[in-house]
Amino acid sequence: MNTTTYLFDLLKIILPAIIVGGAILLIIRQYLDKDQQRRLIELRLQSSQTTLPMRLQAYERIVLLLERITPNNILVRLSSGGQTAQDYHRALLTEIRSEFEHNLSQQLYMSHESWAQVKQAKENVLTMINKAFHALPNPQQQRGTDLAKRVLESLMTDEADPTAQALAFVKREAAGLF
């Protein structure tokens, strides 16, 4: 037998084996990629089943926070009876800050934009109360009910609840989880 014929016969055997081996390698690689994608999807699904209830609870707590610091609600909850305007002012600010600090950890489960809206709402309420307090003539001699009236008046004249925008934003974002 001639060496060329021998090499040619060898190539006839090796070349199809290389082509078949390459095809098998390609099929195995595609299978492994698909399997890895499937596992990632399963892992994400399992993770979302765990975190979704926690995120929803965080949104619920933030909605509750916003509702509690809304001027109408906080004025009713913290009675101004028997307090000076200065004492009532201090009590309102302390209560708002306390409510906010109590819910600080909820920002982990919210988007940055949503949390920014919540912080802005808190600042808007604090600003409204501070402005109402400083608008009182001689605030050290006024009663707490005078401050409450001034806050409600400013709420009516502004026609904008300082927490409404944040509340709407948080509700929209929470609805997007489903």
Q: What is the dihedral of CA 90, 96, 101, 105, to 10 degrees?
A: 180
pLDDT (tens digit, 9 = 90+) per residue, 64-122? 999 999 999 999 898 877 889 999 999 999 999 999 999 999 998 899 999 999 999 99
DSSP line for 69-120? HSHHHHHHHS--TT-BHHHHHHHHHHHHHHHHHHTGGGGGGS-HHHHHHHHH
DSSP for 29-57, please give it.
Answer: HHHHHHHHHHHHHHHHHHHHHHHHHHHHH
In angstroms, the CA 80 to CA 88 distance is 6
More confident position, 126 or 43: 126
Mean of all residue pLDDT scores within the chain: 89
What is the rounded distance in angstroms from the CA atom of residue 29 to the CA atom of residue 36?
10
Q: CA 174 to CA 162: how far, in whole Å?
A: 20
Is residue 13 very low, low, confident or very high in pLDDT (cuts 50, 70, 90)? confident
- The answer to whether residue 8 scores a pLDDT higher than 90 is no
**Residue 6 pLDDT more than 90?**
no
Entry pTM: 0.72
Q: What is the pLDDT of residues 40-72, one digit of tens each?
A: 988 888 767 777 888 889 999 999 999 999 999
pLDDT reported for residue 9 = 82
The β-bridge partners of 129 are: none
For 148-174, write each residue's pLDDT tens digit.
999 988 888 876 788 999 999 999 998
Please say if the pLDDT value at position 1 is more than 70: no
